[in-house]
Homo-oligomer: A and B are copies of this chain.
Amino acid sequence: MNSFFDILEKLPNLPDDQRKLLEESVKVIKVKKGEVIQQRGDLVRKGYLVKKGLLRSYSVDAKGKEHIYIFAPEGWIAGGLEFDSENPRTELFIDALEDSEVEMANSNLFNHYLSFLDEEALKVEISRLIRRVSVLQNRVISLMSSTATERYEEFLKTYPQIVQRVPQRMIASYLGITPEALSKLKGELVRK
Q: Write the residues of chain A forming the contact surface with B, with a CB cutoff of 8 angstroms.
A: 59-62, 65, 67, 69, 82-84, 86-87, 91-92, 114, 117-119, 122-123, 125-126, 129-134, 136-141, 143-147, 150, 176
How many monomers of this protein are in the complex? Answer: 2
How many whole Å from A116's CB to the nearest CB in chain B?
11
Q: Are A87 and B134 in contact (CB under 8 A)?
A: yes
Which B residues lie within 8 Å of A129 (CB)? 126, 129-130, 133
What are 7 inter-chain pairs, A to B, with CB distance below 8 A? A61-B146, A69-B140, A83-B130, A119-B119, A122-B126, A139-B140, A140-B140
Q: How far is the CA of A131 from the CA of B145 in the complex (A)?
A: 24
8 more A-B contacts (CB under 8 A) besides A61-B145, A61-B146, A114-B126? Answer: A59-B145, A62-B147, A84-B134, A91-B137, A91-B141, A119-B122, A129-B129, A136-B140
Q: Are A132 and B133 in contact (CB under 8 A)?
A: yes
Which B residues lie within 8 Å of A139 (CB)? 136, 140
Q: How far is the CA of A139 from the CA of B126 in the complex (A)?
A: 21
How many whole Å from A107's CB to the nearest CB in chain B?
10
